[in-house]
Amino acid sequence: MAKNIEYRDNTNKILALFESAKTRGLEAIGLAAEAQAKKEITYREAVDTGRLRNSITYALAGKEAHIKTYKASKGGKGRETYHYDGVAEGKKGSAVYIGTNVEYAPYVELGTVNMDPRPFLRPAAEENAEKYEKLMRQSLENA
């Protein structure tokens, strides 16, 4: 007597689990990179108002920034509130971006004719690549 064999295609469930794990991994990397960049800027620059440090955030591709608004820690003109608008470029869930919208950030990062560079974003990304790889691996393994 022949037995009936039933096959189920779970491809969509597996892909959904993978996407969810990838998003969790990117979130973990974003949080870690944000914290590291804030640590770098505090270490490399005599923080005046704290606006640059407070503005550092991350965003997953296709999503809004992790931090929506920020203020300077001290000083500043009436402690204005600054905002992030828009969505990070790229296909949703394909990457994580770390950065700031403070207009003078590139001059701090890269330096000027009159000021030495005090990089904070590049070291946060480059010097921690192994840590970020480990975070993603852990997220995928726990899926």
pTM of the predicted model as reported, rounded to 2 decimal places: 0.85
CA distances (Å), 74 to each of 38, 51, 70, 71, 109, in order? Answer: 16, 8, 12, 9, 22
Q: Which pLDDT score is estimated for 78?
A: 57
**Which residues in the chain land under pLDDT 70?**
1, 44-47, 75-79
Look at residue 49 in the predicted model and tell me its pLDDT: 81
pLDDT at 48: 75
What's the chain's average pLDDT? 89
> Which of 66, 56, 61, 52 is closest to 35 using CA atoms?
56
What are the two backbone dihedrals, phi and then psi, of residue 82, each rounded to the nearest 5 degrees? Answer: -110, 150
What pLDDT does 79 receive? 67
For position 112, what pLDDT does the model report? Answer: 94
